[in-house]
């Protein structure tokens, strides 16, 4: 199985791969480089979502996509919270190349208010949470509608997380599935 590299210009998305920076819940980079990959099936659905967003004058900004199994262990070891992270023994849809963490941005690149930031591990991040301002609720529903229309399933605890239906039918993949590793070299 091959993974498709998602490139900003070619796929008409913005990339801000959070786990390649310290701007994530661990406070440090997990990836050695900011790669963005998806399984062919997921890449096709992403293209559909991009088209739907563009028709509304919006763009998609991606925080994470394929996450090597090794990275899932790093995240789990930092915070073993099954409400927001898949147990790596069971496998994450990210580690199958069929999940993406994203948001919507306007034409100037400003993120739409979603009520919380990416990776805010709080009940405020749940889909349908009405404790966030009404404009943020509307933006979440817009994102949910776009992604659903493009053929994506959602995870109820994270407004930013979308995955393919039947994600478990795809095999778990590690860093060795890539031509160039994303994970830091072991010393």
User: What are the phi and psi torsion angles at 186 (to 5°)?
Assistant: -80, 135
| CATH code given to domain 3-177 | 3.30.1380.10
3-state secondary structure of 50: helix
128 HSE (CA, 13 A, CB side): 4
Is 158 marked active-site? yes
Q: Which of 70, 83, 158, 166 is catalytic?
A: 158
Domain boundaries, the chain: 3-177
Q: What is the pLDDT along the chain (187 residues), one digit of tens a residue?
A: 589 999 999 999 999 999 999 999 999 999 999 999 999 999 999 999 999 999 999 999 999 999 999 999 999 999 999 999 999 999 999 999 999 999 999 999 999 999 999 999 999 999 999 999 999 999 999 999 999 999 999 999 999 999 999 999 999 999 999 999 999 987 4
How many helices (H) and strands (E) in the chain?
A: 4, 7
């Amino acid at each position: 199985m091959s993974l498709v590299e998602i490139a900003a210009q070619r796929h008409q998305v913005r990339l801000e791969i959070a786990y390649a920076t310290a701007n994530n819940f661990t406070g440090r980079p997990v990836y050695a480089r900011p790669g963005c990959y998806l399984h062919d099936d997921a890449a096709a659905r992403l293209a559909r979502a991009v088209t739907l967003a563009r028709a509304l004058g919006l763009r998609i900004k991606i925080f994470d996509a394929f996450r090597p199994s090794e990275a899932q262990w790093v995240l789990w070891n930092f915070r073993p919270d099954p409400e927001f992270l898949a147990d790596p023994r069971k496998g994450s849809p990210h580690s199958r190349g069929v999940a993406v963490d994203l948001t919507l941005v306007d034409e100037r690149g400003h993120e739409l208010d979603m009520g919380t930031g990416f990776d805010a591990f709080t009940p405020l991040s749940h889909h349908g949470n009405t404790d966030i301002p009404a404009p943020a609720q509307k933006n979440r529903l817009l994102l949910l509608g776009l992604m659903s229309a493009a053929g994506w399933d959602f995870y109820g605890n994270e407004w930013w997380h979308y995955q393919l239906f039947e994600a478990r039918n795809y095999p778990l993949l590690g860093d060795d599935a890539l031509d160039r590793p994303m994970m830091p070299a072991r010393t």
